[in-house]
Amino acid sequence: MKKENEKFPWLFLLIMSSVTFLGILSELVPSGILPQMSEGLKVSYAAIGLLVSVYAIASAVGTIPLITWTIEMNRKKLLMILMLTFGVSNLIIAVSSSYYLTALCRLAGGVAAGVL
């Protein structure tokens, strides 16, 4: 039963929905900037399209094992680690000129976003 003086955690809800939105946005961004990424990384459009797949597959395949391994972990600490991993991987992608580094960071970001 809810107490009368208990407030709904709007800030927490806003933060969590924003994290989910950013995870999905991050997955699909390469589709929208395909020519720019292809030129910047000096690879074909198909290779850039593969970056979308790497992220999606990492989210799908990596999520269940990682959740299983971290079930006993403090949720707040895990959330901070995942958000840091997600943020750092996207920051590296933004400044990277290496396709393979970008793919590796997409993989890490995909797993982090999947668990988030």
pLDDT tens-digit profile of 10-43? 998 898 888 889 888 888 888 888 899 999 999 9
Give the burial string for 64-101 (b: 16+ CB within 10 Å, else e).
Answer: eebeeeeeeeeeeebbeebbebbeebbebbeebeebee
Q: Decide if 23 is inside a domain.
A: no
pLDDT band at 108 (very low <50, low <70, confident <90, very high): very high
- List, for residues 53-83, the tens digit of each pLDDT value: 999 999 999 889 998 999 999 988 998 999 9
Q: Decide if 72 is inside a domain.
A: yes
Q: Decide if 104 is inside a domain.
A: yes
Q: Domain total for the chain?
A: 1
Q: Decide if 100 is inside a domain.
A: yes
Q: Decide if 17 is inside a domain.
A: no
Global pTM reads 0.82
Q: Decide if 1 is inside a domain.
A: no
Q: Decide if 3 is inside a domain.
A: no
Q: Decide if 18 is inside a domain.
A: no
